[in-house]
Structure 1
Amino acid sequence: AVGGYLLFYQFSNEINKRVDRELVSEEVQWIRYLQTATAGGSRFALRSPDILIYPVRDEPTLYPEIKSTVDKREEANEQVTFRQLSHVVMVRGVPYQIIIRKSQEQKSALVANVTWIMLLVFGGLFTAMMLFNWFISQKVWRPFRQTLQKIRTMELGKMPAVHFDETATEEFSELNASLNTMTQKIYNDYRSMKEFTENAAHEMQTPLAVAQSKLELLLQDESLQESQGEAIAQASMALDRLGKLNQSLLLLARIENNQYVATEPVSMAEITRKYLRQFDEIIRDKNLQVHTEFWANFFVWIHPSLADSLVSNLLGNAIKFNYSGGEIQVSISEKEFCIANTSRLPAIEPDRLYKRFHSAGNTSEPSTGLGLAIVKGIADNHNLLIRYEKEGKTHRFCLSKKGENS
């Protein structure tokens, strides 16, 4: 843009210089004519639209004054730009005012034409440069975009099938080689952790089951004293809690390692109906009133097992931390899934809401303190937002899809 303006200015300046030379040359010719026309002592005067010559009483000037001026052309009744020379000269002892002007219409038309040509040339060059840069960019950056696409679609369990190829660009080849090394290391670490968690869970479940069965056999011994029976029952409950804790920790590890692959859109309404039927006896034992509002179906692309864990934990908490004769409300719309329950417990502090091994309050039923941590982990891994709020005695948890307003 600056270069175009400078070129336009230079071109316009050169035209003005050429017109100025023509004006000076024409003035010299008129001065010579004046000297001839006034040889007998007569006076000379000439008035025309573009030339004025008449005697004046002013002092002669050393150099002519040349400038651009605007005047109205009578026949066209429009403003016209002129280049005008004004000079007072002494001819045979008489000062004469000489005014010569030339219309700039041709110059304006020429400059306009040149400007359009310049715009077309520069526009064409700019377009060609942009197309060339786009073509080069597409060609040069194609390997990088392919690498980026592979990274975006990469899954931990399928890393061995992903390979970053060599390219003609040395820097991208080095990047791909580094990515191959890094992904292999990540997959090896992931596989080691996966095997460890699975082996640890399996190896722990076996002795827990054996110990549990032994304790149950001891409880059947009629020779046990009451205090001994209570101690064994407490130990059995502790083992049962340890087994549930082991399963919950294993589930959390699998969620964080993305070991559950979403296979289909799951209806949260159907899952909720299933668990309401399963928990029906417990609900009736606590005399809880359940209200359901299924306005529409809330679908989540999730592994069915994780959908079960999501609903069972939220609904289980709504039952566990409720009081006898309380209420549970389940509302489902196309964009939101909410479970609310009455409780005498205070609001859960935000910094402890999804903290592991944090129990919401005193309850007669044992808790691992991992339920909400599991819910949070599942939500984060499946593009879901989880919201908690308390109003009066009602605690409410709502799930919605990220990017959608409920």
Structure 2
Amino acid sequence: MKLSLKYYTLKYVVVALLLIIALWAALFYAFILDEVYDNVDDGLKNRKIQLIKAVYKDKELLNNVDFEFNEFKIVPISEEECNNRNKFYNRTYYMEYDDDDEPYRVLETCFTDQFGGHRKLVIRTSTVEEDDLIYDLSIALIVLYFFLVLSILFVNGFLLNKAWKPFYAILEKLRNYQFGEKRDDRKQAYSIREFGQLDEEIDEMIRRNEQIFNQQKKFIENASHELQTPLAIMINKIDLSVQDGKVEDHHMHLLMDLKANLSRMSGLNKSLLMLSRIDNNQFSTTEIVDFNVLIKEMIADYRDFTDHKRIGIETVEHGNFSASFNSDLAHILISNLLKNAIKYNIPDGIIKVIIENDRIVMMNTGQKYPLEENQIFSRFYKQASDHNSTGLGLSIVHSIIRQYPVFSIQYRFEEEMHQLIISKK
């Protein structure tokens, strides 16, 4: 599944943040423990000095050989065992109240008493339980991580949306842009330099493409106009030669093939000229067109073709489809749809036209597999191996629909019927 840029980066930020917090937690835990033990050790060293002073004042303290009510004990040792260095270590002792072993920090050292004897002094003090510290720290870090992620979501959802708003505006402009259509050329002011540069480069790219596109349209239109006259002259001369009756039979077939190819070229030329005129918006005038009446008239005009191919036509009216449309384009639209349904139908086939208030469905039998939806409206795309087809019929239909943004056209293949659906958005 594709994500937007802000959520794509957020995915990696969340993972990276989790790793960073885990590493930071380990270092923070080690630092806290070291600081706790450092403070506890300082307290044990201070207490050592105080206890030695107290022993010199009260010799009874020398009899404290076990941890009882006091948190220290004094044990007689030999001179060889005596070491004046302080020894710190952790150890657990059983506590009756908790009925469990609790952690203690222990200082072990030795001193010489007022009688010249050597004594080992062991002082203990309770410390934090590491498992409890880890648990509390983990809970705190989970809460911290949760709020950090929420904060990042808040920043992305509200603050970054404002920063990326120009980008989405540029993206929307590109999404709605189509060649040959009027667009808003007003310069937009961007507070972010990169977005302003991006918009300028896109406008320049569109300008160059529009220039090339217009040159191509003019070339097609001019070429079509120039070709139409010689094509018509050649077809007429062929007709005159055939009608003259002086052409031999073996030359007759060649002339008829030549005429068929010239007629096809003429039809292609007319179709390209029609596309050029549509793209140049030369059908701008509109009026209210009743497509119900128009479809019935066009079906009557094509009755000879359907009868010749033994194709049945059924019209089903569930509503009235009328719209503000150029009447010439409306005739071309319906004519191309009907010609397409007849040409690519089968003998004894069916054409069914369903008219509703907001859509027209033109369905017909034909080949038993669906067409390519992303290619069917492309220029020179042929639905079958029909060499007489120009491949421009449905392209003209699509170009006409594009002139009216409130309409859309789509292709479906259901129950072995090819369907072309014109809908009001």
TM-score in terms of structure 1 length: 0.60
CA contact (8 A) 1:50 1:101 kept: no
Write out per-residue CA displacement over residues 276-299 of structure 1, whole angstroms, 9 at most, x where no aligned residue: 454334223333234678899999
Map of 1:325 onto structure 2: 348
Relative to structure 1, is the Cα distance of residues 356 and 86 closer, same or farther in structure 2, using a 3 angstrom cutoff?
same
**1:285 is aligned to 2:311:** no
Map of 2:222 onto structure 1: 199
Map of 2:90 onto structure 1: 67
**1:243 is aligned to 2:266:** yes
Write out per-residue CA displacement over residues 75-108 of structure 1, whole angstroms, 9 at most, x where no aligned residue: xx48796542152646554655624213549xx8
Distance 1:155 1:177 in 2: 18
Distance 2:28 2:322 in 1: 65
Map of 2:245 onto structure 1: 225
Write out per-residue CA displacement over residues 307-354 of structure 1, whole angstroms, 9 at most, x where no aligned residue: 8767654543443344543444668999996734256xx97998x987
Map of 2:124 onto structure 1: 100
Map of 1:85 onto structure 2: 106
Relative to structure 1, is the Cα distance of residues 385 and 52 closer, same or farther in structure 2, using a 3 angstrom cutoff?
farther
CA contact (8 A) 1:330 1:338 kept: yes
TM-score in terms of structure 2 length: 0.58
**1:157 is aligned to 2:177:** no
Write out per-residue CA displacement over residues 208-240 of structure 1, whole angstroms, 9 at most, x where no aligned residue: 567767888x5998xx43859978887766554
Question: What is the one-letter code of the residue matched to 2:105?
Answer: Q
Question: What is the one-letter code of the residue matched to 2:390?
Answer: T
CA contact (8 A) 1:20 1:66 kept: no
Question: What is the one-letter code of the residue matched to 1:28?
Answer: I
Distance 2:76 2:318 in 1: 101
The correspondence of residues 234-273 of structure 1 with structure 2, limited to 5 A, is 240-252=263-275
Question: What is the one-letter code of the residue matched to 1:29?
Answer: Q
Greater alpha carbon shift after TM alignment, 129-138 vs 246-255? 129-138
CA contact (8 A) 1:50 1:102 kept: no
The correspondence of residues 375-394 of structure 1 with structure 2, limited to 5 A, is 386=411
Distance 1:257 1:228 in 2: 47
**1:397 is aligned to 2:414:** no
Q: CA deviation at 1:371?
A: 3.9
CA contact (8 A) 2:104 2:127 kept: yes
Q: SS where residue 157 of structure 1 aligns? A: coil
Map of 1:43 onto structure 2: 63
Q: CA deviation at 1:268?
A: 9.8
Map of 1:404 onto structure 2: none
The correspondence of residues 336-375 of structure 1 with structure 2, limited to 5 A, is 339-342=363-366, 356=380, 360-361=384-385, 367-371=389-393
Distance 2:189 2:25 in 1: 44
Relative to structure 1, is the Cα distance of residues 57 and 259 closer, same or farther in structure 2, using a 3 angstrom cutoff?
farther
Select which of 32, 37, 49 maps to 1:16: 37
Map of 2:211 onto structure 1: 188
Distance 2:400 2:419 in 1: 14
Distance 1:160 1:329 in 2: 39
Distance 1:297 1:50 in 2: 103
Relative to structure 1, is the Cα distance of residues 284 and 173 closer, same or farther in structure 2, using a 3 angstrom cutoff?
closer
Q: CA deviation at 1:7?
A: 5.0
Give me the CA root mean square deviation.
6.2
Greater alpha carbon shift after TM alignment, 94-103 vs 331-340? 331-340
Map of 2:339 onto structure 1: 316
Identity %: 24
Distance 2:91 2:322 in 1: 77
Distance 2:63 2:89 in 1: 25
Q: CA deviation at 1:21?
A: 0.8
Relative to structure 1, is the Cα distance of residues 68 and 151 closer, same or farther in structure 2, using a 3 angstrom cutoff?
farther
Write out per-residue CA displacement over residues 16-74 of structure 1, whole angstroms, 9 at most, x where no aligned residue: 3112110122133223434544479x733464466142647895665333326476561
Question: What is the one-letter code of the residue matched to 2:185?
Answer: V
Distance 1:397 1:251 in 2: 25
Distance 2:400 2:182 in 1: 22
